[in-house]
């Protein structure tokens, strides 16, 4: 709970901790991510002796803290171990900074009210008439109060300036983490969450502008067997390769995403079915053309292939319906022998469809 009666001592103490945290961030050349800020703020307060002992040990050994070491400390001592928690931590840091600003303003307002009361009292004394000695005392008191008010204003101005800079950094870092939360950590392309949000936006746009839209659903053929044979690290290399091919062959507003496991998906706005089939075959051919090498031994691992399902959005249908139809096309491509593209035109229940071998 925020203390509504923050004393001047508390204010100075909290500001000192904040300044120490920022100084440590600069010393270690770490970005001003709120999680790192919280780490060093906690260190500055000495509230966690185990944290301080570990940080002091690292400083003694190397004189600084790397980003990896800072992240590990955050996970160990701040219990920040996933992107959602990082976002919550950022929100808490932002709330604390806003609370600091509000408390500084409240303190300044209390000082201003006190000054206003002094002026009103002085005005009453002057109206009632006072002698020369009392006037001198009154003038001295008002001068002292005025100087105190001026000093408070200068301190408030400096505090607000620092807080403005800190909040600006927090906002920038929040934007960066939000972007990071939308990326698949392995392949560095948009993740399922990002895909779901973007598909809804693109369907709204297609509905509004009466445009076409297609969806590709792609699956790496026999990926489990590949993983079992060569190991998960090599499997990760394959996933990154497919992601790179997708990015290289998709342009403009086209967006690739990792759908889950060895499945990928691509949104193709303003694209009709024939164009989407052409793009799907380009991607399939580009992946098949890549010969895999095991980096540690330069052993040739052969080639991988993709099966691709292609569906075109129909007016009025929901995202789930479009995804389901693309998934049926993908299943047809897999069951038909793999390493091929199947569109909704070729599904058994499609008008003028042909049987899939």
DSSP assignment of 298-316 equals TEEEEE--EEEEEEE--TT
pLDDT for the residue 239 = 93
Please provide the average confidence, as pLDDT, over all residues in the chain: 82
pLDDT for the residue 183 = 85
Q: In this predicted model, what pLDDT tens digit does every residue of 48-98 receive, in sequence order?
A: 888 888 899 899 988 888 887 887 788 777 755 455 566 666 666 766 766
Q: In this predicted model, what pLDDT tens digit does every residue of 172-204 receive, in sequence order?
A: 766 666 677 788 888 989 999 999 999 999 999
* Contacts of range 62-71, beta carbons closer than 8 Å, 24 or more positions apart: 64/27, 64/28, 64/29, 65/24, 65/28, 65/30, 66/28, 67/30, 67/31, 70/28, 70/30, 70/36, 70/39, 71/35
More confident residue, 5 or 107: 107
353: left (phi over 0), alpha (psi -120 to 50) or beta: beta
Cβ atoms < 10 Å from Cβ of 356 = 16
Average pLDDT, integer, range 13-27: 85
More confident residue, 181 or 222: 222
Q: 3-class DSSP state for residue 270?
A: coil
User: What is this structure's pTM?
Assistant: 0.56
Tokens 């050349």 found at: 29
Residue length, the chain? 357
pLDDT for the residue 8 = 58
pLDDT for the residue 271 = 97
C-alpha distances out from residue 35 to 41, 252, 355, Å: 10, 35, 56
More confident residue, 164 or 215: 215
353 — phi, psi (to 5°)? Answer: -75, 165
Helix, strand, coil percentages for the chain (3-state, nearest 5): 65, 10, 25
**33-37, 126-130, 199-203: the lowest-pLDDT one:** 126-130
Q: Please, are residues 32 and 22 in contact by the beta-carbon 8 Å criterion?
A: yes
Catalytically annotated residues: 262
pLDDT for the residue 192 = 92
More confident residue, 110 or 83: 110
Q: Please, are residues 25 and 32 in contact by the beta-carbon 8 Å criterion?
A: yes
Q: How many helices (H) and strands (E) does the chain have?
A: 11, 7
Domains and CATH numbers, the chain: 8-181 (no CATH), 192-346 (3.30.70.270)
More confident residue, 90 or 36: 36
pLDDT of 171 > 70? The answer is: no
DSSP 290: P
C-alpha distances out from residue 147 to 7, 111, 123, 157, Å: 20, 12, 18, 15
Q: In this predicted model, what pLDDT tens digit does every residue of 288-305 receive, in sequence order?
A: 999 887 766 777 888 999
pLDDT for the residue 122 = 64
């Amino acid at each position: 709970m925020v203390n509504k009666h923050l004393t001047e001592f508390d204010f100075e103490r909290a500001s000192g901790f904040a300044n120490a945290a920022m100084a440590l961030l600069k010393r270690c050349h770490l970005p001003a991510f709120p999680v790192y800020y919280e780490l060093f703020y906690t260190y500055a307060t000495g509230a966690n002796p185990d944290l301080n002992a570990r940080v002091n040990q690292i400083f003694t050994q190397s004189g600084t803290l790397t980003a990896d070491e800072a992240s590990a400390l955050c996970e160990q001592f701040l219990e920040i171990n996933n992107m959602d928690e990082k976002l919550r931590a950022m929100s808490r840091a932002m709330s604390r900074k806003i609370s600091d600003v509000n408390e500084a303003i409240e303190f300044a307002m209390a000082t201003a009210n006190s000054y206003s009361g002094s002026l009103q009292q002085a005005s009453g004394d002057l109206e009632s008439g006072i002698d020369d000695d009392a006037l001198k005392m009154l003038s001295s008191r008002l001068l002292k109060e005025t100087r105190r008010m001026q000093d408070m204003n200068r301190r408030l101005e400096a505090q607000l300036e620092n807080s403005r800079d800190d909040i600006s950094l927090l906002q920038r870092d929040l934007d960066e983490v939000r972007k990071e939360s939308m990326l698949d950590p392995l392949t560095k392309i948009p993740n399922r969450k990002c895909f779901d949000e973007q598909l809804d936006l693109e369907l709204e746009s297609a509905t509004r502008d009466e445009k076409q839209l297609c969806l590709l659903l792609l699956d790496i053929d026999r990926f489990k067997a590949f993983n079992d044979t060569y190991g998960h690290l090599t499997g990760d290399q394959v996933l990154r390769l497919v992601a790179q091919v997708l990015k290289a062959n998709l342009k403009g507003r086209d967006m690739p995403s990792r759908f889950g496991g060895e499945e990928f998906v691509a949104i193709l706005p303003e694209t009709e079915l024939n164009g989407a089939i052409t793009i799907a075959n380009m991607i399939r051919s580009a992946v098949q053309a890549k010969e895999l090498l095991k980096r540690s031994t330069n052993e040739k691992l052969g080639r991988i292939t993709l099966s691709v399902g292609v569906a075109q959005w129909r007016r009025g249908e929901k995202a789930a319906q479009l995804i389901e139809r693309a998934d049926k096309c993908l299943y047809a491509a897999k069951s038909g022998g793999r390493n091929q593209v199947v569109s909704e035109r070729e599904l058994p229940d499609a008008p003028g469809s042909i049987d899939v071998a």
